[in-house]
Amino acid sequence: MLKAQYQTRGPVPQDVIDAVELQLPEPAAGQVRVRVLAAPINPSDVLTLTGEYGMLPPLPAIGGNEGVGRVEALGEGVQSPKVGQMVLLPPGCGSWASALNLAADKLIPLPEADPQQLAMLTVNPPTAALLLSEFVTLAPGDWVIQNAANSGVGGYLVQLARLRGFKTVSVVRRESAVEAVRNEGGDVVLVDGPDLAQRVREATGGAAIRLGIDAVGGPATDRLAACLAEGGVVVNYGMMSGEPCQVSPSAIVFRDVSLRGFWLAKWFRSATPAQQMALFGELTGLIASGKLHARIAATYDLTQIREAVAAAAGGERDGKILVVPS
């Protein structure tokens, strides 16, 4: 058995992590052993390796913050989940490993469905769902604009918006990304540029867009703000450009556009168990039924963890990178 462990952090994320031998004891009382089936590499994982994320585990650490597995052994006193049950791994558990011993009461049973799709349930789908619901009250027929629309969150957001009856303007940074977003159901898909606001008005017939979702930062944030109606809200959840968000005074002062931020970890801390179960119940059902999915660019074994991290950190990908232990 293996685990993907890092002892330090550094500017080149794949250079700090290695697959090393994993020796697990028998599960203790109240624990179960879970064989990991699949675990994604998210942008937050890459930033954790470089030391740039907002919450960093103590070192040494095992990479990976989400995934799915199958229960293969029970500790003393455990009645549920049963051996053979597929389960959602708890956030932050160090999921890039062959197997884990985990508290039984922290595991969520999952239906039998594609484990690679269910492995991405914890981070990107709830982020997309909450970005659509927590900042602006939208009604069917309303428009939403987002950049980084070909990202994992962007793809889920397009699909969820369509399911809820919203229309989307999806902005990407390269022409080669347009087709994939259209195939996921994007109503209008545009390549970012200085004349974005004009092209958005033409494409939507001058619709009043009240919600803009930004994962890029820098001048791209201001280009989204320029597309919004008076009183609109830009919500930032990422910094793909590596630059701070920029919004012009004219947008803030004359059109009352506001800039907010969203971090899923903070939502988890404040949401009630009932709210969390309602959200994950909805998303699990949609993923298991095939109504919600993510593109997968490639899968890697734990022995290829450096190549996997390099692929996830690089650009020009069409889908998520997954760690699938052999």
The one catalytic residue in 6, 53, 156, 237 is: 53
Average pLDDT, the chain: 96
Burial of 310 (0-12, 13-18, 19+ CB in 10 A): middle
How many domains in the chain?
2
Same-domain status, 101 and 64:
yes
Q: What is the pLDDT of residues 30-77, one digit of tens each?
A: 999 999 999 999 999 999 999 999 889 999 999 999 999 999 999 999
Same-domain status, 161 and 116:
no
Same-domain status, 202 and 251:
yes
The pLDDT of 235-244, averaged and rounded, is: 93
Cβ–Cβ under 8 Å, residues 305 and 39: no
Same-domain status, 19 and 110:
yes
The pLDDT of 300-315, averaged and rounded, is: 95
Same-domain status, 154 and 84:
no
**Residues 6 or more apart whose Cβ sits within 8 Å of residue 202:** none
The pLDDT of 185-212, averaged and rounded, is: 98
pLDDT of 280: 93
In a domain? residue 53: yes
In a domain? residue 267: no
61, β-bridge pairs: 6
Domain that holds residue 227: 131-262
Three-state SS at 5: strand
pLDDT of 9: 97
In a domain? residue 158: yes
The pLDDT of 206-233, averaged and rounded, is: 98
In a domain? residue 243: yes
Same-domain status, 34 and 99:
yes
Q: Provide the pLDDT confidence category of residue 242 given band limits of 50, 70 and 90.
A: confident
Same-domain status, 103 and 178:
no
Q: Provide the pLDDT confidence category of residue 207 given band limits of 50, 70 and 90.
A: very high
Same-domain status, 105 and 155:
no
237 is catalytic: no
Same-domain status, 105 and 189:
no
The domain that holds 188 is classified in CATH as 3.40.50.720
Strands 211-214 and 61-62: unpaired
pLDDT of 125: 97
Q: Provide the pLDDT confidence category of residue 273 given band limits of 50, 70 and 90.
A: confident
pLDDT of 113: 95
In a domain? residue 29: yes
The C-alpha atoms of residue 98 and residue 36 are separated, in whole angstroms, by: 6
From 232, 160, 238, 239, select the one nearest 197 (Cα to Cα).
232
The C-alpha atoms of residue 98 and residue 37 are separated, in whole angstroms, by: 8
In a domain? residue 231: yes
Same-domain status, 116 and 163:
no
Q: What pTM, to 2 d.p., does this model score?
A: 0.92
Same-domain status, 103 and 197:
no
The pLDDT of 189-214, averaged and rounded, is: 98
Same-domain status, 147 and 105:
no
Q: What is the pLDDT of residues 249-261, one digit of tens each?
A: 999 999 999 999 9
In a domain? residue 285: no
Q: Provide the pLDDT confidence category of residue 317 given band limits of 50, 70 and 90.
A: confident
In a domain? residue 88: yes
pLDDT of 318: 83
